[in-house]
Chains A and B, each alone.
Chain A
Amino acid sequence: MSSGIRFDRVSVAYDGTTVLDSLDLTVEPGEVMALLGPSGSGKTTALRAVAGFVRPAAGRVFIGDRDVTDLPPYRRGIGMVVQQYALFPHMRVEDNVAFGLRARGAAKGEIRRRVTETLEMTGMAAYARRHPRELSGGQQQRVAIARALAIRPGVVLLDEPLSALDARLRSDMLAELARLHRELPDMSILYVTHDQVEALTLADRIAVMDRARLREVGTPQELYRAPRYEFTASFVGNANLLPVTVGSGTVSLAGNELTVDTARAASGASATLCVRPHLVGLGSGPNQITGVVSEVQWRGATHRLYVDVAGHRMLADLRELRTPPAPGDAVDLHFAPEDAVLLAAGVTDG
């Protein structure tokens, strides 16, 4: 079954507070869409509106061509995985995985075949007879994923599925989720997370949310390399955001003339320049600016310099330096014109 998700101006309010403000978003069949945002941004509410656990105050929710806005959760045909797993503690792993199939009245042989197949797919076949409490967190998460996939849903909702796992396990599970999606390519995935790495790694497209609104949608590359808004720039990856005045083909940052692509902004306007810290170089080069080091952090593979440039803090992530500068030293920083993006003021956080 191949079916996408479509939000048609969906608004949700709790006790008069709008927690989701006319969301318009389409998840194509087979696409992985990450809903990325800080807590309280409305991303989980959007997911729960698809699942049927919150009723939109306005707007419609579609799964495939079907308007599911008024359908109860059990008639929506979705798979869902939540942060705290919610495995049924009184059932064995195999019964957890079989639950959805039994609820749909599948034939006995079919249930057995599907359960075996899904447990093998998630690498949990050896644990079929265990109870959830006998499994580690990562194993429980695999079972939760198997339980959602066993019914072969057209749409899978993942609500911060990796947040309860430690960093190492999280990156393993990310690879695992990507592999599962390659095995079931027709499945649309809506993936709610506050972790930009998860979103960048897994998603075909990312929808950035903030304060109940959708800010920006795009492929991970688009949002990372050419964000349109300050919020996106700072939430998807680290960013130096510097206030500049636009000239023709150049911008000026406190007297420094910098060459960047100014196609997005009108001459004479004030705007924000976004440069990724890892694209900033030390020493002389194009777009050179001078500043004073305020702090140096050694991070193993890199040094992070905090540099004060005309009253603005600028971060530079540099491959580990043999002789790092000390706080108080004056240093030259530079960046390539094509590595900077101009975010026009006035279209920032509205």
Chain B
Amino acid sequence: MLVHSRKARWAVWTAFLVLFLPLFALPLLVVLASSFATNWSGALPSGFTTGHYAAATRGESLHALTTSLVTAVTASLLALLVGTWAALAGHALGRRARRMLDTLFVLPVAVPSVVVGLAVLVAFSQPPVLLNGTRWIVFLAHAVLVTAFAHQSVSAAIVRLDPAYEQAAASLGARPATVLWRVRLPLLLPSLTAAAGLCFALSMGELSATMMLYPPDWTPLPVQIYAATDRGSLFTGSALAVVLMTATVLVLTAVSRIRTRASYR
């Protein structure tokens, strides 16, 4: 929006802050404040300690953080691979087949994630594919949940990709595989990294499906946070939440740096 007069600009900023602060920033600030608190009975927390963080970055909690990171990275890579593949294949299909494929991939988003968790649990608790009790069932559930986003953002990018590039490459004698690896995927890289970042963030925060099927030795951070708050340790939970938030934002920042270096236009 283009705002020219100084007064109007102030009004817009004020409206933005009034709407944005309570809705988005304040809850996060409250979590941040409570993660340093020893006591919170009035309007503001009292007492200051870094003890919650000391607890949140060692032992079980540290393990939960690495669990979450490994899960999110694995799930996003899986999702990116499957989603990109499906998007590329879908682009080559006819209109009706493409629509069916799109619907199929949106399904895990349309269905409540608890249901997805339960479905994965039921499906893989019996041989021949027995994954229940292993970390793989968590990877799989997360991948199923986030593939929709990878598929959607990559197929949107493929539609926008000018066919002139692949045609130029083909006319120069490049086989379809060469065109894919040397021209199409490099040109799609910005949206691939964006999709990877989105999948990662979603997987880092996933709780409801994870609750259904995490094995005892593979407890992701959100489950840990839930467990802490459930037994009344709000401040410890807050510290864990801040750790989760920071880790996610750090990874996303790193990923977005790849993106800016890879955008050509």
Interface size on A, residues (CB 8 A): 29
B162 surroundings in chain A (CB, below 8 A): 84, 86
Digitize B165-176: 1 where CB-to-A-CB distance is under 8 Å, 0 elsewhere: 101111111111
Alpha-carbon distance between A75 and B168 when the two chains are bound, in angstroms: 13
- CB pair B265–A51 under 8 Å, yes or no, is no
Q: Which of B232-265 contact A (CB under 8 A)?
A: 262, 264-265
Stretch of A13-21, A99-107, A285-293, A328-336 lying at the B interface = A99-107
Of B172, B174, B178, chain A has the most CB atoms within 10 Å of the CB of B172
Alpha-carbon distance between A99 and B170 when the two chains are bound, in angstroms: 10
Question: Does A246 make an interface contact (CB < 8 A)?
Answer: no
Name the distance in Å between A152's Cβ and chain B's nearest Cβ. 12
How many inter-chain residue pairs (CB < 8 Å) link A and B?
74
Quick one: given A84-B164, A88-B183, are A99 and B169 in contact (CB under 8 Å)?
yes
- CB pair B264–A78 under 8 Å, yes or no, is no
Choice from A76, A104, A133 contacting B265 with Cβ under 8 Å: A133
Kindly report which residue of chain A lies nearest to residue B175, judged by CB atoms: A74
Question: Does A38 make an interface contact (CB < 8 A)?
Answer: no
Question: Does A131 make an interface contact (CB < 8 A)?
Answer: yes
Question: Does B56 make an interface contact (CB < 8 A)?
Answer: no
Kindly report which residue of chain A lies nearest to residue B183, judged by CB atoms: A88
Alpha-carbon distance between A33 and B262 when the two chains are bound, in angstroms: 41
- CB pair A100–B173 under 8 Å, yes or no, is yes
B265 surroundings in chain A (CB, below 8 A): 89, 133
Digitize A84-128: 1 where CB-to-B-CB distance is under 8 Å, 0 elsewhere: 101111100000000110011000000000000000000000000
Alpha-carbon distance between A133 and B264 when the two chains are bound, in angstroms: 8
Q: Which of B143-191 contact A (CB under 8 A)?
A: 162, 164-165, 167-176, 178, 182-183, 186-187, 189
Interface size on B, residues (CB 8 A): 22
Choice from A72, A80, A89, A131 contacting B187 with Cβ under 8 Å: A89
A131 surroundings in chain B (CB, below 8 A): 264
Alpha-carbon distance between A188 and B82 when the two chains are bound, in angstroms: 44
- CB pair B164–A82 under 8 Å, yes or no, is yes
Question: Does A218 make an interface contact (CB < 8 A)?
Answer: no
Q: Which of A212-232 contact B (CB under 8 A)?
A: none
A53 surroundings in chain B (CB, below 8 A): 167
Alpha-carbon distance between A302 and B74 when the two chains are bound, in angstroms: 74
Question: Does A147 make an interface contact (CB < 8 A)?
Answer: yes
- CB pair A90–B264 under 8 Å, yes or no, is yes
Alpha-carbon distance between A190 and B186 when the two chains are bound, in angstroms: 31
- CB pair A100–B172 under 8 Å, yes or no, is yes
Report which A residues bind B (CB closer than 8 A): 51-53, 72-80, 82, 84, 86-90, 99-100, 103-104, 131, 133, 147-148, 151, 157
Q: A99-B182, A104-B173 are in contact. List 6 more A-B contacts (CB 8 A).
A: A51-B167, A89-B264, A90-B264, A148-B171, A148-B172, A151-B173
A-B contact pairs, 15 of them (CB 8 A): A51-B171, A74-B170, A74-B173, A74-B174, A76-B171, A80-B167, A80-B171, A86-B162, A88-B168, A88-B183, A88-B186, A100-B173, A100-B174, A133-B264, A148-B172
